[in-house]
Structure 1
Amino acid sequence: MRIWAKRVPVAAACIAVACGGAVVGCSTPELDTTAAGVAKLYASAIERQDPARAAKYTTAPAQAGEALTATITSMKADDIDVKVDRPVQFSDGTASFSLKTTWKWQGKRAFTTETTGAARHLSSGWRVTWAPDLIYTGMPRGGALRLIRTEATPSPKVRSRDGKVFMLEQGVNDIVLDPAKTADVPAAAVSLARVLEPIAPLITAKVIEGKIADAPGKPIVAVTLRDSDMLVLAGDPNKVAGVSTRPYGKLVMADRRLSSPLEVGLTNYWQAIRDATAGWQVQLTAPGARPRALSGEQGPPGPDVNTTVDQGVQLSLGDAVVDVGQPATMLVLDGSTGGVLGLAQNSYAAARGINVDNLYPVGKTLDPVWEAIDAAAGSDGQSRGRLLDRSGLGVRFTVPGASALVGARPTVTTIDYKTDTAAVSMMNMGAFGVALARSREGAPPVAPYVIKGIPTKVADGELGEIGSAVTGPVFDAMTKTVVTGDASDLTNAPGLKALVGTNGPQAPGWFLGLQDGKVVVIYTEGEKSGTAALQVAQKYFRIK
């Protein structure tokens, strides 16, 4: 910061005077300075992003504080550099100077303004004459500068394996009810439910009041509706006491019939692209006027997200998991490539937070696998561990587009495969199924994946050949399960090979199947979970 004015002593005054509509207090040693000195104090306070202190050095602290707070808050700068140039002090007790203010953000983003200011010598000392022009030349009263994020257009689309649009960004609206803004919450809930009924009949007054009860005193989102949904409502929700509408853009399914836990992982990946391609813009805002762009940059739009998802498979999975009244989740992969074709779960599983990364007890489901690996490894614990890793059962996967969490290492690496300790994720089970399917082609195992060209991270071991000494006995056991075992009642599944198991009547149930070039993994919980897994499998084979 450069100050070029010659210091001129100013006598201290101990009376208060009114100036610019504000009361200015007695002089202090800090303000007992020159015009250039007070400009420097003002500039230093702006650099520290302290609008209240900067306003103190002006002729109108209240007005200045309000305006400076609005701009400093809206600009969200990582750093501000303010230089005071060309200060000139006149004999009539006035002065002039110029300010060069540079607002800085990460990524070498910067915006610079050059403004002129004035100062006055009052009985209390020198003060910067307040005017909005100190912030930006031509700024109107009530105006402010603000930094906004800009998005590249068009936004990327998420595509299924055949290139069709699977997910896309659309305008949506949170319908928010704030109980603090209505005198009669039950009446507001009833009125809002009536407005929503044509498009969201399940969002009843009871449901709305339940959400309010779960978040005492806080606003709740009754429902989120697409822009097109808003056109068929039975009225304007904003006219209901305590209700407001919050519009924004969101990545949603192109086909309303589809839903999937994959939405979380794919949205995270899509958002990372949006963040990487986002631009910025500094705007001048003013009451009653449209924001005016002053500076900024915006790069090209990001690429579409190409996935392995098969929309037909995904629709079938969604129909299959709703067939049981207990938690059920279903994962289907391409047996040749390891690509995830679909992932679905019912509302019970969603409420339980079940996902493809969590570890769940396998019970007796993989007993034939443990026996085959033990036989192939002999008494060599290291060989046993390597076979488990190579098969996909002993490693940890992080699958871009599918993994919402970093999962724990499976516990099947223990020497003793006790049914109450062995646990794997659905992705582990799917990877093992892919290893079996590819062994028929003489190909090594591959990691499951969702986004084309984006590899899955494999930790705590390596995938590799497991050999016919393992796959042979496992295929025999899978065939037996279908011919004379628990899966013998399944129909419409030619060539099916499967393993089915639980860890007791109330324990998780699993189904691992190979059929029609696909790997089918089903995980269920609750009473007779093994039967529930078979019920889901049968529904899938009937409708696929």
Structure 2
Amino acid sequence: MKLSVAGIAVSALVLGGCTIGQSESETEIAAQQFADALTQRNAQAAADLTSDPAAAKAAISQMFDGLAARDATFVVASTDSDAGTFTLDADWTLGAEPEPEPEAESTTTPTAGTTSATPTAETDSAQTWSYTTTGGGKAVAGGGKIPWDPQLLAPGLTADTTLRYTTLAGGSPQVLDAAGRPLMSEQTVTLVNLDPATIADPAGTAAAVAQLVGPVAPTVTAASLQADLAGAQGKTVTAITLRDADFQPIADRLAAIPGVQLVKQTRLLTADKAMTSPTLDGLRELWQQGQDASAGWAVQLVSANGSAERLAGADGTPQPDIATTLDPAIQGAAQAAIADLPQQAAIVALRPSTGAVLAVAQNPAATAQGPIALTGLYPPGSTFKTVTTSAALQSGSVTPDTVLPCPGSANIEGRTIPNDDNFDLGSVPLHTAFARSCNTTMGALAVALPPTALPHAALQFGLGVDYVTPGLTTVTGSVPPADTPAQRVESAIGQGQVTATPFGMALVAASIAKGSTPAPTLVAGMPGVANTTPAPAPPQVTEQLRTMMRETVTAGTATQLADIADLRGKTGTAEVGDAAAHGWFVGIDGDVAFAVFVAGADSSAPAVDAAGRFLRPIQAQIPR
């Protein structure tokens, strides 16, 4: 029988000495009340039924807090009215609520025991813990209080121990680079925290900490720490998080500074401290998902000295290492190429043959704005002429050798289109107009195209396609239909409503290199899945584009890269209202396709120069 909350209060009076007038014994009533109060997680009601309410309430509250159970049920299994004793069956469901659907119920067997019998226990994938306890005595049979014993709650529990639920990692897999070498691993770090409540001299503490950590983190200064403390409103401030190699030489001196608290943690960190990339956050998330899915669990009996005995649980399942496609040498070259640029800058490099993501780099100015290399949308400017030229070639209206006018400026459908510095080539073949980046030629070509021609050609190169890629969150871009001739003129030169990310333009270059769009891949064997898969551009069109991109380097707008053998590319300058124009360069070098973006560069020159700094150090290792 289970009593209502109101019934608990009535029965409490019975235990206080009132006449029962029922067939149930005092032992049965007391046991049922205690079980019901525990099931309802009413620590006070359960504690009031015992001989030591204060101690009982503290232990019961700690049990529920420490186990943080999804569900707990206590049932009276048996009573002995003569002896005044009873047994309780406890069933716990532990761990976080499963997602997206509840886990199937599993059969359980005991893992912890009674106070008077051999302990039994069992766990399962649903994280259940079942056991039996025994309590009571003659006092209960006479209508008195239940003698308080912590083992009423769980086998082995004493006044000096507590219960704790915890997860158990199945191991610590590494994240590997493209060559199978460690890229990221779980490492110990130390948080150097400053507690304002224990700092009598904020200026002195800030100066002492800054002096020690300055060689590791020059941006952490006495002034910055004082400002952090002043704005913390009494809360603890983390001055810096140190890797073990940086922490150990200064550990003792940091510990001696008043107000410094040193807190150990484990984090997934890069093997090379200098490596930074927007891809790392996605890989950490993927790693953590694997850890969560494979984690074991334990109910622990924790002693006053911190030692723990496992009462129930299951070991975690070891997870395999995560093999990525990132190439540290290419990543390092990309980082170095843009590190010193004052503007936001990014480089994305892919392997056209496989779609492997080789490098994603941003400089500090870009990182402050978020993962712009992967999701930042910008007008692509003249790099979009790869798409415009492809659409024109596919229309059949031109060939690479078709002679077309390239005036310094032209009024096309009411929109005046100038070339850069109004250069005028007269009439030239299309391949020359492409290599020299004639806006007027491209605008005139686009006017004659259907409204959907540019969006269709863009999709053939992956631009506008959405991908779900394990470990990688990306956007490629957007090329809406250009319903009016004026809109087609704007779109033809990568302006108007056309937007692209550095990742999206790298994918365009990779598609031209391969002849079809490769599925972007960051984790080996886990390619991205596209929301649409358009047929690729005709092979002869992509071959013609590759030839024109080579001419851009040898005799066009990127001749400063002519020393890089067989490099193919396209420059781009994109206007952004009254602000300085963005600079772009997309390229193909052997089996590496890439995009360089420099915000507010005012021309493509900084992007082209960065491309050179990126490519020259890695020439020897680029597959041909």
Q: Does 1:410 align with 2:477?
A: yes
Change (3 A) 1:368 1:214: farther
Picking from 441, 445, 457, the partner of 2:517 is 445
Please tell me the residue identity of whatever aligns with 2:569. A
- Displacement of 1:291 in angstroms is 0.6
Change (3 A) 1:367 1:280: same
Q: Does 1:518 align with 2:592?
A: yes
- Displacement of 1:530 in angstroms is 2.8
Which residue number corresponds to residue 428 of structure 1? 504
What is the 5 A alignment of 1:64-213? 64-90=56-82, 95-105=84-94, 107-118=125-136, 126-153=144-171, 155-212=172-229
Please tell me the residue identity of whatever aligns with 2:46. A
Moved more, 262-271 or 486-495: 486-495
1:170-220: CA deviation from partner (whole Å, max 9, x where unpaired): 111222223344233332222222332454444222232344456544323
1:313-349: CA deviation from partner (whole Å, max 9, x where unpaired): 1121121121312211111111221111111111111
Q: Does 1:509 align with 2:576?
A: no
1:270-292: CA deviation from partner (whole Å, max 9, x where unpaired): 11111121111111012125111
Give me the whole-angstrom Cα distance separating, in 1, the residues matched to 2:316 and 2:168: 10
What TM-score does the superposition give when structure 1 sets the normalisation length?
0.86
Which residue number corresponds to residue 317 of structure 2? 300
Give me the whole-angstrom Cα distance separating, in 1, the residues matched to 2:203 and 2:557: 51
Give me the whole-angstrom Cα distance separating, in 2, the residues matched to 1:187 and 1:96: 64
Which residue number corresponds to residue 617 of structure 2? 543
Is the Cα contact below 8 Å between 2:554 and 2:562 reproduced in 1? Answer: no
Please tell me the residue identity of whatever aligns with 1:510. W
Is the Cα contact below 8 Å between 1:360 and 1:423 reproduced in 2? Answer: yes
Q: Does 1:345 align with 2:345?
A: no
- SS of the aligned residue for 1:532 comes to helix
Give me the whole-angstrom Cα distance separating, in 2, the residues matched to 1:10 and 1:78: 28
Moved more, 468-477 or 48-57: 468-477
Q: Does 1:51 align with 2:121?
A: no
- SS of the aligned residue for 2:51 comes to coil
Please tell me the residue identity of whatever aligns with 1:390. Q
Is the Cα contact below 8 Å between 1:486 and 1:500 reproduced in 2? Answer: yes
More helix by share: 2
Is the Cα contact below 8 Å between 1:365 and 1:510 reproduced in 2? Answer: yes
Which residue number corresponds to residue 60 of structure 1? 52
Which residue number corresponds to residue 454 of structure 1? 526
What is the 5 A alignment of 1:317-356? 317-353=334-370, 354-356=372-374
Moved more, 272-281 or 475-484: 475-484
- SS of the aligned residue for 1:366 comes to helix
Change (3 A) 1:196 1:325: same
Change (3 A) 1:198 1:434: closer
Which residue number corresponds to residue 22 of structure 1? none
Give me the whole-angstrom Cα distance separating, in 2, the residues matched to 1:397 and 1:213: 45
Please tell me the residue identity of whatever aligns with 1:104. T
What is the 5 A alignment of 1:9-24? 12=13
- Displacement of 1:516 in angstroms is 2.8
Please tell me the residue identity of whatever aligns with 2:463. L
Please tell me the residue identity of whatever aligns with 2:293. A
Please tell me the residue identity of whatever aligns with 2:507. A
- SS of the aligned residue for 1:507 comes to strand
- Displacement of 1:512 in angstroms is 0.6
1:44-66: CA deviation from partner (whole Å, max 9, x where unpaired): 23223333343233332221121
Is the Cα contact below 8 Å between 1:388 and 1:413 reproduced in 2? Answer: no
Change (3 A) 1:254 1:215: same
Please tell me the residue identity of whatever aligns with 1:135. L
Is the Cα contact below 8 Å between 1:87 and 1:95 reproduced in 2? Answer: yes
Picking from 521, 527, 537, the partner of 1:466 is 537
Give me the whole-angstrom Cα distance separating, in 1, the residues matched to 2:50 and 2:374: 61
- Displacement of 1:472 in angstroms is 4.9
Give me the whole-angstrom Cα distance separating, in 1, the residues matched to 2:242 and 2:133: 46
Aligned-CA RMSD value: 3.2
Long gaps (5+) in structure 2: 99-124, 396-447, 619-624
Q: Does 1:483 align with 2:550?
A: no
1:41-91: CA deviation from partner (whole Å, max 9, x where unpaired): 22223223333343233332221121112121111111112111222345x
Identity of aligned residues (%): 29
Give me the whole-angstrom Cα distance separating, in 2, the residues matched to 1:254 and 1:452: 19
- SS of the aligned residue for 1:232 comes to helix
Please tell me the residue identity of whatever aligns with 1:250. R
Q: Does 1:393 align with 2:463?
A: yes
Is the Cα contact below 8 Å between 1:173 and 1:224 reproduced in 2? Answer: yes
Give me the whole-angstrom Cα distance separating, in 2, the residues matched to 1:13 and 1:149: 43
Moved more, 291-300 or 174-183: 174-183
1:459-497: CA deviation from partner (whole Å, max 9, x where unpaired): 2x2143111464355335423432343322225421111
Which residue number corresponds to residue 606 of structure 2? 532
1:123-173: CA deviation from partner (whole Å, max 9, x where unpaired): x975333221112233221311111111113x1111111111111111112
Give me the whole-angstrom Cα distance separating, in 2, the residues matched to 1:214 and 1:457: 46
Long gaps (5+) in structure 1: 18-25
Give me the whole-angstrom Cα distance separating, in 2, the residues matched to 1:486 and 1:180: 62
Please tell me the residue identity of whatever aligns with 1:137. P
Is the Cα contact below 8 Å between 2:387 and 2:458 reproduced in 1? Answer: no
Change (3 A) 1:312 1:501: same
Give me the whole-angstrom Cα distance separating, in 2, the residues matched to 1:473 and 1:437: 11
Change (3 A) 1:511 1:50: farther
Moved more, 253-262 or 70-79: 253-262
Give me the whole-angstrom Cα distance separating, in 2, the residues matched to 1:11 and 1:210: 59
1:81-131: CA deviation from partner (whole Å, max 9, x where unpaired): 2111222345xxx83211221211354221123211126869x97533322
Is the Cα contact below 8 Å between 2:360 and 2:373 reproduced in 1? Answer: no
Is the Cα contact below 8 Å between 2:454 and 2:479 reproduced in 1? Answer: no
Change (3 A) 1:257 1:12: closer
Which residue number corresponds to residue 286 of structure 1? 303
Give me the whole-angstrom Cα distance separating, in 2, the residues matched to 1:266 and 1:509: 29
Change (3 A) 1:289 1:319: closer
Change (3 A) 1:236 1:464: farther
Give me the whole-angstrom Cα distance separating, in 1, the residues matched to 2:606 and 2:53: 71
Is the Cα contact below 8 Å between 1:87 and 1:98 reproduced in 2? Answer: yes
What TM-score does the superposition give when structure 2 sets the normalisation length?
0.75
Moved more, 76-85 or 371-380: 371-380
Moved more, 38-47 or 96-105: 38-47
Change (3 A) 1:387 1:289: closer
Is the Cα contact below 8 Å between 1:67 and 1:142 reproduced in 2? Answer: no
Picking from 6, 26, 49, the partner of 1:34 is 26
Is the Cα contact below 8 Å between 1:119 and 1:127 reproduced in 2? Answer: no
Change (3 A) 1:213 1:281: same
Larger radius of gyration: 2
Give me the whole-angstrom Cα distance separating, in 2, the residues matched to 1:113 and 1:266: 41
- Displacement of 1:264 in angstroms is 0.6
Is the Cα contact below 8 Å between 2:15 and 2:26 reproduced in 1? Answer: no
1:344-387: CA deviation from partner (whole Å, max 9, x where unpaired): 11111111112412322213331342243255257554565443
Picking from 366, 381, 386, the partner of 1:363 is 381
Give me the whole-angstrom Cα distance separating, in 1, the residues matched to 2:134 and 2:219: 61
